[in-house]
Structure 1
Amino acid sequence: MMRAWILPVLVVFCGSVVGMGLILQGSPGTAVALLLPFLMIAGVNSSLIFPRSVGAQEAQRRSAVDGRPVVFWRPGCPYCIRLRIRLGLRAGQLHWVDIWRDPAGAAVVREANDGNETVPTVVVAGRPHTNPAPEWVREQLSPSA
């Protein structure tokens, strides 16, 4: 869990150091204006923008019941962030598994990607798809979902 927060914490720390330097130089307005993008970058690279993650077994069980895809992801992954943002509100209809929190999820991803933890890996009807287009993932959601 800790490594999921390393990048966001480092980004906030760097922004704070730069902001403090600007404050000490007498530019508090510039410091605040510069700190806001650092905070936004940290937020996007954290797990805060993703729907609540479940374990791989629970996600696969839920998917078998409702037919919705399972997305295996990790914080800080630019492709996962792109998928999440492009799905918009429909992202909540998917089952999300953070492979850094769930060793079983990481094992599923390694098995699907020749031993690599390549994410996002989306499993639809038991078949894994590595880094699919967000539009394709959206099409996999049934209209009733």
Structure 2
Amino acid sequence: MIEYRETNRDRRVALAAKAVLHCECGAVGIITENDIGNGRIICPNNPHNGCNKIYCCKCGNDDHGTDLCPPPVETVQWLNKNSKECPNCKNRIEKNGGCDHMTCQVSVGGCGHQFWWTCGCPVHGQHKSDCLRLGER
């Protein structure tokens, strides 16, 4: 019966939550609509151990003031694994198959630059000294 009541209480608390905060100090806090205020939340363990960590309620990252929320860590990891920056304009490009000849697509904000995926050298230009020559590909 006690386990049932605890599970029921946990479920009610979780449904009222806008977010759950997991602080580096080990504290866990349920953030409700009333807690959000100015969009920043202080670690719930603050009065007990002096943890002064402040978080952004929208993204859960460290407080970043008025700057835009950074993308989630999972998104950054995926981008780093599956895409590269165009060597010319720094627009992110995904390689989803085919050969190493890439074109930065103008239709999605790119510059039209053509380069090799593996080394970043221009298709119509000189390779870096440590790259394979075009004919050796």
Give the structure-2-normalised TM-score. Answer: 0.27
Give the structure-1-normalised TM-score. Answer: 0.26
More helix by share: 1
Higher RCO by CA contacts (8 Å cutoff, separation 6 or greater): 1
More strand by share: 2
